Structure 1
Amino acid sequence: YLVLEVKGGRITHDQQGWHSEDRHGQVHSIKDPGGQAQGQCRSIDNYLGTLTSYSNRPPFEWAVCFSDTEVNKQAKLLELPSAKILDAADLRSGNIQVWVDSILKRAKSRKDHQHYNSELFIRALAPALDLIPRLRDRMEDEALELVRLTERQKKLMQMVRLNSHIGIRGGAGTGKTMIAVERARRLSESGESVLLLCYSTSLARYISDQLERADVLTFHELCRTMAQRAKLPFEVPADHERQRIFWQSSVQYLLDKALELMPEQRWDHIIIDEGQDFPESWFTSILELKRNEDSSLWVLYDPNQQVYGGTRRDLATELDLTPCVLDENCRNTRNIGRRVGELISDCITIPPDAPEGDNVMLETCPDAEAMTECLRKNLHALIHTERISPTSIVVLSPRLPETSDIWLRKTFGNVTLRLMEEAPSTNTVRFSSLHRFKGLEADVVILCEVSPGSISCTNEHLYVGCSRARHKLIELHYDA
């Protein structure tokens, strides 16, 4: 092979060295072109020597090209033999191939060239590149494909819109919350009263931001609101055990009492999301919230997300509702969908036109210190290499913040964790327990502090956490 150092402009040489004159007449000192060419030869030869696949490196030669200067080749330069110069006159003559052959002939005469692999040499210096776009750009393309999938859920809602009592069962990512929000929007905008109930405070806040006219509450918020309207005392005990009993049963008693005192406080339509988390006794009170027999009740649920204890229930049968099944995942990429499917027994279809997405990353850590360092490296790569906005990332843990080593650490390089309810600021990433994030989603999810086999990391818990990710899922596990 031939290494050719090319110098443009008018080139001169004197006792002070080499010079180049640009088109504006400015003269600049330049490095010795012959020395540069020889240095590049040595660099390439040394690089090939580091490759284990090379047992015999190819012969090489060096030369210099002065593309804008004619050289008096009769004048001898000790540092640059005239035979190794290709000048402007040579370029005009069209005899470049003859000149190259003469240079390489000398190289071949110095070294056995019959046994080196020319294809291997080409691959080493000019490898084929698989240009992979950044995750941020891939996510934008995937989002367009996932939006097309949600149109199928809207069509399903059109088909069942006239059914006033329906139980919609669907796995994570099948569009249950989207259907609940869309039904609430259409009914409330037509002037009818709508109550949308869910279990999670975070989900209630998320849905409320999308609806202007519907009442969006958790069941406990409903009990508080109704008790206060009826001027009933709503006092949460300070004692932990009494507080638990209060939220489990006393609040429902207050709701029932408020309904007796305020018979006018009813709704035309009731929609329940996260129905699997509602105890059976709650539905007795909820049915009393209907304005009349024509009032509708839609319950959306996923038995596989029942992470608060209790047995799996078929709410459509339990409440005598017309059953409907959503079995097509419209949230996750195919790779994330496959991971989610591994964790449950139900069959959730991944549409053939869903984006493939990145592979799910699973890393194991021996201890809390390694876990925090692993999280730091992943956050740095996502934000600084992949250019993902910190607001698109959520860090989930099966632990509550007060028991999480990750939350207690809070700062990872120049990234700081913040709780869901805290306002976003520069370089802050959301942190949440997976229980509080149930029903929500994020472009990128890092599920950390997973202890395989523990009571807080069952398949149901992992199913909830993993299914929150739309485009990128990273799991950080402790060694089993």
Structure 2
Amino acid sequence: MAQGEGVRFSHESERIVWERLGGTVAEGTVLLANLRLTSSRKDHELDIVVLMPGVGIVVVEVKGGSVSVDTQGQWWSGGGTRKSRVRPVEQCRDGKYALREFIEADPRWKNRRSRVRFGHAVVVPFTELADDFATMDCPRWMISGSRDLDDLARRIHDVVGRQENEQRVPTDDDIELIVEILTGRSFPAPDVAADADEREAAADRLTLEQAALLQVTRLIRRMEIRGGAGSGKTILALTQAKDLTRGQGDRRAQRVALVCYSIGLSQYFKRQLAGVPRNHRPAFVGSFEDLANLWGIDTASHDRNDAAFWERDLAAGMAEVASGLPEGKRFDAVIVDEAQDFADHWWHPLMKSLRDEDEGGLYVYTDENQRI
């Protein structure tokens, strides 16, 4: 069985060997191509790995074109000015040991299964080899040339027994596990929290001026921060809300309300905080009207043009509710963005919602140039 149908090869020689083996290997044999394996010593490229149940595992190195060996035992590819030194035997031998080490180090194999037979072989599909060819590290039975391709599957089959016959042969279960091991393990899954952490990190990235101002807000309980469009005051308000909520070191975590005027900014705040860890998320995030609805006050039935309700009556009703809030529902700090658009009476219920009306935090972000 060839794993990864439609696999692409860098060289025609590899494709030819793959197809020859794929059509002639015994049933149950698994072929793997183009494996990249990194060990502590070097990177390895395994052209083809043949996994044969009941036989063994062979790492095959394929060299295309004209391959030659000189009288010094050095291997060469090509000829003339394009001649280059190659090391096919060393490559497949080192690849074999690296592959075996990788498999045996896997927790699914280690201390559970004994070593199985491994072998290595060289195939030079365009080079004709003499029947009595041999080098000290590459006997004739370990290398296959152009005249051996019709019998390639048998030759690869026989390599393992000649090289290693003291280890046990792999079972079907062994081969199945090896294929599973070679696909990798413990892959990271999509993580919404990781995406949220990145968004939060981006939102928390402040200018030096903003960072200095944030430090000041940790020391002063009442503050108005003014800035024009694009000054970053909204990002600062959002960051301050998370900073006060989570606390750090000697600073205790606080129950915070992040309040604004418009629906658009309210939705922006909610989107930015949707993936933030719960202990970084303010107790309340939304518009002044959202806060009224949270406290059980109906606003949907009132005309938007009813100034008396929106500027005075709503605030009075909210102040009454705020006065009766239990301790666990009150806030340590209230942060208001778009404060320039808040009606004068709206500040009363916000102050009433604080656990400590005298010392509780109130941070107001305004832009007089954007007043509605």
- TM-score (norm: length of structure 1): 0.34
Larger of the two Rg values belongs to structure: 2
